[in-house]
Amino acid sequence: MPRKEHCWETVSNHRCKVFAVTAPAGYGKSTLLSQWHDEIDNGSFAKVWFNIDAHDNDPVRLIRYLITALESATNITFKTTLDQLKTNGFAIDLLIDCLLSDLSQLDKKTILFIDDLHLITNEICLTLFTQLIFKSPSHLVFVLASRQYLPYHLSQLKVTESLYHIDMNSLSFSSSEINCYINDYKKLNLSSNEIDLLASTTEGWAVGLQLITLVLENYSDKKAFLNQLLSMDKDIAQYLEETVFSTLVKDLQDFILTVALFDRFCADLFQAITGRHDGHALIAQLEKMNLFIISLDY
């Protein structure tokens, strides 16, 4: 559900160097970045999507993948940087200088989306990102998503008003937004008291609301389920995941259990593991239900 105060047109008016979204899992960070990415006009901007995984703590791998992402969306060829890697290997200061030299070729505003930044723990990799952010051309803008607060050096950007930050409190759904989602969008017709109870129980947690909605859509006695939810001592996330999972058909359950072993997957990977040819259809079903998966196809 797009939220007007978080739309790219509103946020980008701040004209910052870095737009950061930080919150625990399930608050909609990747979804928000995806919406921003889709809102941006290709004609006015170049936009680059770079999804981090734990393997990117290898500095050479990180640089090569970052270059690949940038080359796919811009007119730049990173010859200086790649030549440096070939001839002198990994020397962080030289590589940063080469990257900055190559980035100087940018001929229009470019927005680099970096999702799951919290997975970068290697100090050299963090230094690389920090230096790129501070020293890259002004028309290269960074949009970051992380489960953790930004590294200390990046937080200093607040002093110069170069950082726009959206945190967990900003991402949490208010009672009015929950009402819009539950009643206007999902047509579940809950009372205002029930909406307020959901708000206090979930504290506006997006995934919690999504899972509750999926259960309510399959429950004839909605009031009984809400009473059960509000009175239980069990962890709400675990309870909702178990409850939603139990309502799925066996094919979807088997699919989820199979691909849950991987950080990323596709229909071809599912086929290679299981020999089944219905991966595309199962992924489409989960996407239609807005359940458990996020598309990274950029």
Give the residue extent of every domain in the chain.
Answer: 4-171, 175-288
pLDDT grade, residue 137 (50/70/90)? very high
Give the phi and the psi of residue 183 in degrees, each rounded to 5.
-95, -45
Q: Provide CB contacts within 8 A for 151, sequence distance 6+.
A: 126, 130
Higher-confidence residue of 93 and 3: namely: 93
pLDDT digits (tens, 9 = 90+) for 80-103: 999 998 887 778 889 999 999 999
Would you state the structure tokens that stand for residue 253, as one six-digit string?
């359950």
Q: Which residues of 52-86 are buried (b: 16+ CB within 10 A; e: fewer)?
A: beeebbebeebbbbbbebbeebbebebebbbebbe
Span 159-181, average pLDDT: 90
Tell which wins on pLDDT, 212 or 97: 97
Strand 140-146 with 163-166, pairing: unpaired
CATH code matching the domain that covers 4-171, chosen among 3.30.2390.10, 3.40.50.2300, 3.40.50.720, 3.40.50.300: 3.40.50.300
Query: Which of the four pLDDT bands, split at 50, 70 and 90, describes residue 152?
Result: low
R_g (Cα) of the chain, nearest Å: 22
Lowest mean pLDDT, pick from 107-116, 131-140, 224-233, 252-261? 224-233
- Whole-number Å distance between alpha carbons of 52 and 22: 15
At 26-75, the pLDDT tens digits run 889 999 999 999 998 877 889 999 999 989 999 999 999 999 999 999 98
